[in-house]
Amino acid sequence: MDYHIEELLSEETVNARVGELAKQINKDYAGKELHLIIILKGSMFFASELARQLTVPVTMDFMSVSSYGDGMVSAGEITVKKELDEEISGKNVLIVEDIVDSGRTLYYLKRLLLARNPESLKLITLLDKPDCRVVEIEPDYCGFEIPDRFVVGYGLDYAQKHRNLPYVGVIIQD
């Protein structure tokens, strides 16, 4: 497929919004410790930008789940490819995602992690495509709601490419 990429959210726009989210989280978790569960690979840039602006004590762990393979359409199946290293029981957990599309990934993850008895469990996503929702799930914090388009950059990929773009762009088929 021949395609090009058009900028949707500039680097400055994204970084400014991540700063606002960090401020809100610092307020909401004041006096508490926060355990970030960073969902690889898409949320790595978002998570590092966010985490550097958190002033509450933070610990981090990583998990990798897959739902898409290399295509642009959700397969509706999710597998855990990398498990967490640490227990989450008794912790204030914040799942850090890049994007919520059908919602299946977060729906599944939330159920899986709630069963491990965290003190609290919330979800943050950089991007949300609410029009694409198939299961009922609402992120607690969201950077931007975007239309039903396939986006790349700021960690997000198309067939593992373009994660390193500093902005969020839309894939346009030529």
Q: Are 144 and 126 in contact (CB under 8 A)?
A: yes
121-131: b or e for each residue (b if 16 or more CB lie within 10 Å)?
A: bbbbbbbbbee
* Interaction between residue 62 and ligand IMP (CB under 6 A): no
Judged by beta carbon distances under 5 to 8 A according to partner kind, the member of ligand IMP, Mg ion, none in contact with residue 92 is none
Whether 101 is catalytic is yes
Does residue 155 interact with Mg ion by CB under 5 A?
no
DSSP state of 156: B
**Segment contacting ligand IMP by CB under 6 A, of 14-22, 51-59, 79-87, 148-156:** 148-156
If one asks whether residue 101 binds ligand IMP (CB under 6 A), the answer comes out as yes
Asked if 128 touches ligand IMP (CB under 6 A), the answer is no
Q: Are 6 and 169 in contact (CB under 8 A)?
A: yes
Shortest reach from residue 113's CB to ligand IMP, in Å? 15
Q: Which is nearer to ligand IMP, 29 or 105 (CB)?
A: 105
Question: Interacting stretch for ligand IMP, rule CB under 6 A, among 55-63, 79-87, 91-99, 113-121?
Answer: 91-99
Which one, 90 or 166, has the nearer CB to ligand IMP?
Answer: 166
CA distances to 75, 142, 165, 167 from 123, in Å:
22, 9, 24, 22
154-172 burial, b at 16+ Cβ within 10 Å, e below that, comes to: bbbbbeeebbebebbbbbe
- Catalytic residue from among 101, 140, 148, 174: 101
Structure tokens at 167: 């902005």
Tokens of 122: 């919330």
Grouping H, G, I as helix, E, B as strand and the rest as coil, residue 11 is helix
Q: Of residues 40-99, which lie at the interface with Mg ion (CB under 5 A)?
A: 42, 98
Residue type, 66: S
Known catalytic residues?
101
Residues forming contacts to Mg ion in the complex (CB under 5 A) are 42, 98
Residues forming contacts to ligand IMP in the complex (CB under 6 A) are 42, 67-68, 74, 97-105, 150-152, 156
